Amino acid sequence: MQRALLPAALSDDPEAALRELMEKQQTELERLRREDPQRFLQMMIVTLLQTQDVAQKRTIVENTPELLTDQADTLLEQIAKAQENPQARQLVEQHRVLLQRCRAVGVEQAFAVPPSPRGKGAGGEGEIEAPPQLPDDLQERLRRAGVTDEESFQRALENDPQLAADLQAFLQANPQAVLAGLVQAFLSIQTSEQLRAFWRAVPTELEQPFIELVERLIAEAPPDTPAEALESLRARLRDFRELCEAARAARNIPPELREVLEELARRGVEIRSEEDLRRTLEENPDLRARLERAAQNMQGGPPIPPEFHQDIQQAQEGEARYTRTGDLNALNAAIAAWERILNHPAFARADERFRLAAWNDAGGAYLRRYWRMGDTTDLDKALNLWQ
């Protein structure tokens, strides 16, 4: 089942592809509905499983009462049992539970599922919805708390710590259900802003299992899956992995330096250039002293793995030559050296202090080229490395 879903899910515009497919099938479906009800039910189940958009799923269920019958429930049970892939089996089982709930409480109430708690804080677009199989008691408690959107959801959790604890316990006990929903959301991401919002929604403890699951999906893609779609998904996964690694490195920033950065953020200070930093430190001598103490505590530097010695030297020499002469080729050579370091297979296994320093220095090189050339791609790269 999962292999059958991948080509549409990996297309450039999966929702448009599915809409077009549904339009072409509409006439045939109406004929089948009259002449071959069993075949019609099978096709509608497939359509429901392929549809990622929640609103479209609801429309399908509302317009297809045949899905809310014992016959449909039995067919879904048979389809689930026939799946060898556990993720595919779980996808079918989730839809079966959803349809059972539609029969029990009505379509409107069954689809009234609140957004899930964010894994790393709020902000941005691309919210991830809670799995539809939340236990009845949790859904009832959320409804009584007046949950209708992300804001009311967060407020309900703050006002009821026991509700927050029970919901977190459910998510921790059902990681595969959460992963299945995350994969569906990941396939629909189109922009870097959506990817960053998605990363914020992924619980830290599920980052590596999620990465491994997407890698398996790519490896198991059917032969007719477009190569461009697979490469796009690989690139998206690389970007997601980089966000995870940068966050892990940021957690290892010395407490003194983290406090300085947090204080700058609270004061609303934005540093976009070396001149901004110099002026900020002159205007805030207390922060300057704290920053100098943090720098002293970091002196000595992390150990540099031998495979990076040559590239580190080339990067430092290139940046020094650019500082002296303004030679753009020297800066480009330095950035190329940093990219070789960051993309080296051994980089992920290097000492975290070394990786943090490399991300920081590489980001500085990208920022200098942005100031020189004005290419926002370089600015994005610098910000991603410093995130």
Query: Residue 117 domain-assigned?
Result: no
Q: What is the pLDDT of residue 353?
A: 81
Is 269 found in the same domain as 187?
no
341-358 average pLDDT score: 87
Instruction: Tell me: do 271 and 224 sit in the same domain.
Output: no
pLDDT at 368 over 60: yes
Q: What value, to the nearest 5°, has the Cα angle with vertex 345 and ends 344 and 348?
A: 95
pLDDT at 251 over 70: no
Average pLDDT over residues 304-324: 85
- When mean pLDDT is compared across 34-38, 194-198, 226-230, 297-301, the lowest value belongs to 297-301
CB 127 within 8 A of CB 197: yes
Contact 37, 90 (CB under 8 A): no
Beta bridge partners of 189: none
pLDDT at 238 over 80: yes
pLDDT for 176 beyond 50? yes
Judged on CB neighbours under 10 Å (0-12, 13-18, 19+), 191 is exposed
Q: What is the DSSP letter of 114?
A: P
What is the pLDDT averaged over residues 21-25? 53
Q: Are residues 235 and 157 located together in one domain of the fold?
A: yes
Q: Do 90 and 6 share a domain, yes or no?
A: yes
Q: What pLDDT shows up at residue 274?
A: 61
Q: What is the mean pLDDT of the chain?
A: 74
In this predicted model, what pLDDT tens digit does every residue of 77-90 receive, in sequence order? 888 887 766 667 77
| The pLDDT of residue 341 is above 90 | yes
**C-alpha distances in angstroms, 247 versus 200, 244, 256?**
10, 5, 17
Q: What pLDDT, on a 0 to 100 scale, did the predictor assign at position 9?
A: 44
Provide, rounded to the nearest whole percent, the portion of the chain with pLDDT above 90.
6
pLDDT value of residue 340: 94
Mean of pLDDT values over 249-255 = 63
The answer to whether residue 130 sits within a structural domain is: no
Tokens linked to 134? 């939340």
Could you tell me if residue 347 is inside a domain?
Answer: yes
Whether residue 6 is found in the same domain as residue 102: yes
CB 227 within 8 A of CB 366: no
pLDDT at 118 over 50: no
Question: Which residues constitute the domain of residue 380?
Answer: 302-387
Q: CB–CB of 230/218 below 8 Å? A: yes
Which of 182, 214, 249 is the last residue in one of the domains? Answer: 249
Answer yes or no: do 141 and 240 share one domain: yes
Residue 40 and residue 60 in contact, taking contact as beta carbons nearer than 8 Å: no
Q: DSSP label at 223?
A: T
83 and 158, same domain (yes or no): no
Tell me the pLDDT band of 28, cut-offs 50, 70 and 90: low
Coil, strand or helix at 111: coil
Same domain, 90 and 180: no
Same domain for 289 and 258: yes
Inside any domain, residue 115: no
Q: What angle (nearest 5°) sits at the alpha carbon of residue 369, between those of residues 196 and 362?
A: 60
pLDDT at residue 296 in the model: 52
* CB contact burial 232-244 (16+ within 10 A = b; e otherwise): ebeebbeebbbbb
pLDDT score, position 120: 46
> What pLDDT score was predicted for residue 369?
85
Residue 334: pLDDT over 80:
yes
Q: Do 191 and 237 belong to one domain?
A: yes
Domain boundary among 210, 227, 249: 249
The reply to whether 120 falls in a domain is no
162 part of a folded domain: yes
pLDDT surpasses 70 at 271: no
The percent helix, strand, coil of the chain (3-state, each to 5) is 75, 0, 20
Residue 337 has a pLDDT of: 93
CB atoms within 10 A of CB 253: 16
pLDDT digits (tens, 9 = 90+) for 92-108: 887 888 888 788 778 87
Residue 139 has pLDDT above 50, yes or no: yes
Q: Is 299 a residue whose pLDDT tops 70?
A: no
R_g over Cα of the chain: 26
**If pLDDT is split at 50, 70 and 90, which confidence band does 331 have?**
very high
Which residue is listed with tokens 């677009």?
125
Section 346-374 average pLDDT: 84
DSSP helix/strand/coil, 375? coil
Q: Which amino acid is at 216?
A: R
Considering the domain architecture, whether residues 102 and 19 belong to the same structural domain is answered as: yes
Higher pLDDT residue, 328 or 283?
328
Domain count, the chain: 4
Note whether residue 326 is domain-resident: yes
Q: Which of 93, 110, 127 is the last residue of a domain?
A: 110
Is 128 contained in some domain?
no
Q: Are 112 and 145 spatial neighbours (Cβ–Cβ below 8 Å)?
A: no
On whether both 317 and 242 belong to a single domain, the answer is: no
